[in-house]
Chains A and B, each alone.
Chain A
Amino acid sequence: MIRRTVSPLLLRAGLRHHIRHRWQALLALVGVMMGVAVVIAVDLANAAASASFAQSASQLRGAATHRLIGSQGYLPQALYTDLFTTPGHPPMAPVISTRVRVEGLPGRFRLIGIDPLAEGSMRRDLSSAISGTDDLRIWLSRPGVAALSTSAADHLGVTIGDSLPIRHQGNPYRLEILAIGVDDSLASRDLLVTDIATAQALSGMRETISHIDLILDAAAEAWLAGRLPASARLLSVNEQTQGIVGLSAAFELNLTAMSLLAMLVGAFLIFNALSLSIVQRRNLLGRLRALGVTGAQIHHLIVAEAMALGIVGTLLGSLLGIALGQGLTTLVAATVSELYYDVPADALQLNAWSLAKGALLGLGGTVLAAWFPATQAARTAPLTTLSRAALEQSTRHRLPRLGIAGAVMMPAGLLLAFVAPGGVIAGFAGLFVVLLGAALLTPLALHLVHGALDRLPIRGVWRMAARDLDRHLSRLGTAGAALMVALAASVGVAVMVESMRSAVGEWLGDLLSADLYIASEAFDDAATLPQSIVTQAPHLAPVSAASYYRNRTLHDGNRRITLVAADLAAQSRTGFDFVAQIDGDLWQRFASGEVLISEPFARRSKLNPGDVLHLPTPAGDAGFPVAAVFRDYASEHGRVFIARPHYLAHWSDTAVNTVALFSDQGAAALLQAVSAQFATEDGLVFTAARAIYDESMAVFDRTFRITEALRLLSLLVAFVGILSALMAVQLERRKEFAVLRALGLTRWQLSQLIVVESALIGVLAALLAIPAGLLMAWVLTAAIQLRAFGWSMPFVLGATPLWSALALGTGAAVLAALYPAWRASMHDPAPQLRED
């Protein structure tokens, strides 16, 4: 019996060990706890963000299984009439959806126009509000009545009967609140519901609607397929959700990867703590083996210990994670609100899956981290009280093997990240393999550095410290690797964000070549400029040149394309940075009807200059040769530039969304002239290029605030981990220190030795972390960003991340040494020596 299981006696022996080394156990616990906490916190925040996405999508979709959309962004209302009056039509409901501003409030509100008589079983939640009014009669017949959710009413501070002034593309409109109590999900805070007639009136969508929602089975889908014009596209709910959540998925994946990184660091810490506890117990374990305890039992014991550590750490980590998740949710919500729409920050909901994931990682990671040390311990020979020297010897023997493993893993990881199929997941998997490889190489690197230091003419404590590095490789190697991974992650993310920021900044700077931009306040497809502005603005006195832009969202299957019909002044043409282009006069080709496509779009559609791009026009698909691919961070869906005369020919649409003006007299004079001329025009914004640039960069920074927060968080985990690991190592050496004191080392010298040794680890780990971090940044920018968003960016290396890694590594290491140094120097060496 005793041979198979872990006996209570053994467990007690293990427990005693940990009670005696409670500091160490506590610090290992902190490692697990922090790792689990970060994973759970990020997961909860992610879940909250996607829940509000999904909720808003399903709220607006209701029971619909499909949505009919127009390839031009809208549908003729006659299509709905045709379908509705055809025998055998499936349940369907017409919808006009748009965005409006509420007077005096920041942000935009979604406005959905529905036909309650067509809603039926489609969107009970929305129609319920209208029944709440007890008056369908008013809803249908009176212009301007609206319903909203209780949370939206609270948010807006309105009640039934109130009048709500709104603006649609700058045009003022008044809504009368008829009902409060549309479905009260979190996502409805920015939702206004009106009759479809009111929505059409205020949005100016003459004879058109936004989409038709349908409930289709296979037969109904077939019925519909034969009746749709070429310009209409049927999307299933899944395809739709993909579109909505697509952007957020990349964002979410980024966060998840960061949390897993924290977990990886956490696992290193656990590994470190357990390895250390085995090294410490080698005598005890040897004696146990001599007493007849089997290797398997020892293995079980260590794993059981790890399990206990994992359970306690996971429990505490879960609590911490929930608390942390609260803060993180606020950050995620802020980012989502920035990028998409208003999400309340208090959206955190505990979900079992997030907690389970954290627990799985916490326990699994701990056991996995313990497996190798446990196997080592199980191999302890009976009675052989392996000497420290022999232990370090065997560690050094293993170094080449570890080094080879690391050396193989790094290129393998790169291959995975850059070449393997599998999208963003493969990218991140590759990144982890690279990091793991770097971690495995760390002890070897420390050993080699020791060799180099040994040849330097340094003396005294410094020389001792350098030699100790190698003598304690079994302990310091792991701690150093953990510190290295944490610092590398920090460097990698910082460099990536910096590269991206610089790329976006440069791109924006080029793009915003004009002095002043005139656009409608609403900034969407339908927000076109009054014709008077388009014709008059270029003729104002200070204007030397003008460019015109028309943005149009096209749907081709479930591919979304922003088509930009541009009439470009020569100055605007310099704003393009071409990644690839066809030979010959590019602008000549553009003028002749060839198109310029953005890099993400080129990648996604596998199009190169010279290929032909097919776009859905009102007259059916038309082919456009691709002249060039330009760098673009505006949209991951992709943008296509077409010369305006060719756009007019195919789409017969003369609208303009933006006019860019150039002047020799500077932006201020231009702004003055434009403002004076168009003072009476409502709902227009005149923005100097500089202001757009600043605003865009502010948005960029706000978007990456969450990334920054996570970087700091993983650094914190690493810091605590390093602190615990190094402290444990130094505390464990009390006897050795006593011997050194007894041999004549002064208190001051001993303290110095400990601090210098620790600092050396810190500096070395940081130095190793810099190339590893840069490698990681390279993988992030060149492989993962490309896989996730389709855009490439030049690699920008700033000194700050490097310095901060160095400072942080050394700082953490020195800080970790202070207590052991103080303790070692304060203690009388005699009792320590007598102990054994």
Chain B
Amino acid sequence: MLRLCLLLIVVLCACDREAPPGRDTAQTVPIGQGMGIDPDSGFARATLPRAFEFPADHGAHPAYATEWWYFTGNLHTDDDARFGYQLTLFRIGLVPGAAADDSDWRTSQIYMGHLAISDIGQGLHHSRERFSRAAVGLAGAQSDPLRVWLGPWSIDGTPGGTFPIRLKAEDNDIAIALTLERGDRPRVLQGEQGLSRKGAAPGNASYYYSHTRLPTRGEIRIADRHYRISGNSWFDREWSSSALAADQAGWDWFSLHLDDGRDLMFYRMRGKDGVAQRFSSGVLVDAEGTTHALSLDGVKSEPTRTWQDENGVAYPVAWNLSIPQHALELHIEAAFDDQVMRHTVRYWEGAVVVSGSHSGTGYLELSGYAN
């Protein structure tokens, strides 16, 4: 696969369509090497807030270069065996506009999928990746009902209200089959009514909305062991045609379910100097569904411990997050250290445990460290 991986990286970076943070994972590409935004790429750009329409916006937006359906969650069995999971389907536009219609196999879109299960009790992280062109029914997305699939991996909504959503994915020795209910939280439009800015340049932004707490139940399988599990999932939707600015190295992204019923998302845009930039932002959703925007000024974030992978790359796997306005003094610690996604794009994405003023669970994504 290695060559193919290189290829994909080339594809991802060659057209300067490096996706913005928040949920982009394409960071092992030489980002930060002067790759700015290419306004001439031909893809649409997120410059102004838009009027979201559902269920249409659950589907694909091929006018934009990249897009993803991103599910993470913390789950447990009745006897409290704990697991984290991630299922993400990425859409990557190769060229703007419709493909030539010379063959059913011709396409301008490919899909990449990442599946991971963190077995917290065992301290083992299992992950898989797959690719396909979006042609002859191998992969694709539709909005009503929501259906996104990549081979046998699928995200299936329910006709009418989208929820419950069923996730199905397996690859030899790991599998998930989960049902995600609507729960009681509203859909959260991130940033300015769903326009999430990631850099100073116009258009260096994404359209971004989230379902922060989806009650989840179902089954996961690791090798031949099946676990009936329940818990909460976080669903992020984002599409854009932007890339990291020249001075940006990556981002640290938190999605936390606090035990008092509040949900916290915060991403920390990291400059090459390692310092959080002003485009960092987040949102706090309280148990009643009211959202409170967070900016860099209101959030103090501090890594407290790093862990090194086999390549000597140090990931900050423990953090202190302080949000005085909301009386939050949180300590965030990886459920276990090695939750690196060793794939075409290499990043750390894993389950975390929250302690401090409030307890809870969540997911942490660390990008831009591996290059």
Question: Interface residues, chain A, CB within 8 Å of chain B?
Answer: 77-78, 80-81, 84-89, 115-121, 124, 127-128, 130-131, 134-137, 140-143, 195-198, 200-201, 207
Contact = CB atoms under 8 A, between A and B. Distances in A.
A141 B15 CA distance: 14
Interface in B118-143: 131-133, 135-138
A81 B10 contact: no
Given A84-B132, A115-B133, A197 B102 contact: yes
Contacts of B106: 140-141, 143, 195, 197, 201
Contacts of A88: 152, 170
Contacts of A80: 136, 138
B8 interface: yes
Contacts of B110: 117, 140
Given A140-B94, A141-B94, A141-B108, A89 B151 contact: yes
Given A84-B138, A141-B94, A200-B103, A117 B133 contact: yes
Nearest to A206: B104
A117 B170 contact: no
Interface string B258-284: 000000000000000000000000000
Interface string B152-190: 100000000000000010100001000000000000000
B1 interface: yes
Given A87-B152, A115-B105, 15 more contacts: A80-B136, A81-B136, A85-B151, A87-B175, A117-B131, A118-B132, A127-B3, A136-B94, A137-B11, A137-B14, A140-B94, A140-B108, A140-B133, A198-B102, A198-B103
Contacts of A117: 4, 110, 131-133
Contact of B10 (A121, A134, A141): A134
A81 B1 CA distance: 21
Contacts of B7: 116, 130-131, 134, 136
Contacts of A78: 136-137
B227 to A, nearest CB: 18
A137 B105 contact: no
A135 B9 CA distance: 10
Interface in B76-121: 94-95, 99-100, 102-108, 110
A87 B168 contact: yes
B313 interface: no
A81 B152 contact: no
Q: Is the interface of A mostly helix, strand, loop or mixed?
A: helix
9 contacts: A81-B136, A115-B105, A119-B4, A134-B10, A141-B95, A141-B99, A141-B107, A143-B106, A201-B103
B293 interface: no
A322 B18 CA distance: 59
Contacts of B107: 140-141, 197
Contacts of B108: 140-141
B6 interface: yes
Contact of B11 (A86, A127, A135, A143): A135
B158 to A, nearest CB: 20
A142 B95 CA distance: 9
B171 to A, nearest CB: 9
Contact of B95 (A81, A86, A118, A137): A137
Contacts of B131: 117
A116 B102 CA distance: 18
Interface in B225-271: none
Contacts of A81: 136-138
B208 interface: no
A526 to B, nearest CB: 16
B149 interface: yes
Nearest to A118: B132
A197 B10 contact: no
B87 to A, nearest CB: 14
Contacts of B105: 77, 115, 195-197, 200
Contacts of B175: 87
Contacts of A127: 3-4
Contacts of A118: 132
A180 to B, nearest CB: 16
Contacts of A195: 105-106
A152 B95 CA distance: 30
A137 B170 CA distance: 28
Given A77-B136, A85-B152, A116 B4 contact: yes
Contact of A85 (B4, B14, B104, B138): B138
A500 to B, nearest CB: 45
Contacts of A197: 102-107, 135
Nearest to B137: A81
Nearest to B102: A201
A221 to B, nearest CB: 15
Given A121-B1, A143-B100, A197-B105, A131 B6 contact: yes
B215 to A, nearest CB: 25
B136 A120 contact: no
A121 B15 CA distance: 26
Interface in B172-226: 175
Contacts of B11: 135-137
B170 A87 contact: yes
A142 B108 CA distance: 9
A-B complex: 3 closest residue pairs judged by Cβ atoms: A197-B105, A201-B102, A197-B103
B151 A124 contact: no
A589 B132 CA distance: 52
Nearest to B95: A141
A771 B102 CA distance: 66
Nearest to B92: A137
B149 A85 contact: yes
A135 B108 CA distance: 13
A117 B90 CA distance: 14
Contacts of A142: 100
Nearest to B131: A117
A503 B366 CA distance: 77
Nearest to A144: B102
A742 B1 CA distance: 91
Nearest to A207: B104
Contacts of B8: 136
Contacts of B138: 80-81, 84-85
A761 B108 CA distance: 82
Interface in B1-54: 1, 3-4, 6-8, 10-11, 14-15
Nearest to A82: B137
B152 A120 contact: no
A504 B125 CA distance: 68
Nearest to A201: B102
A118 B4 CA distance: 10
A311 B14 CA distance: 64
With most chain B CB atoms within 10 A of its CB, the pick from A77, A87, A128, A135 is A87
Contacts of A198: 102-103
Nearest to A115: B133
B64 to A, nearest CB: 16
Contact of A77 (B99, B104, B168): B104
A141 B132 CA distance: 13
Contacts of A119: 4
A200 B104 contact: yes
Contacts of B3: 124, 127-128, 131
Contacts of A86: 152
Given A120-B4, A201-B106, A84 B151 contact: yes
A606 B107 CA distance: 49
Contacts of A85: 137-138, 149, 151-152
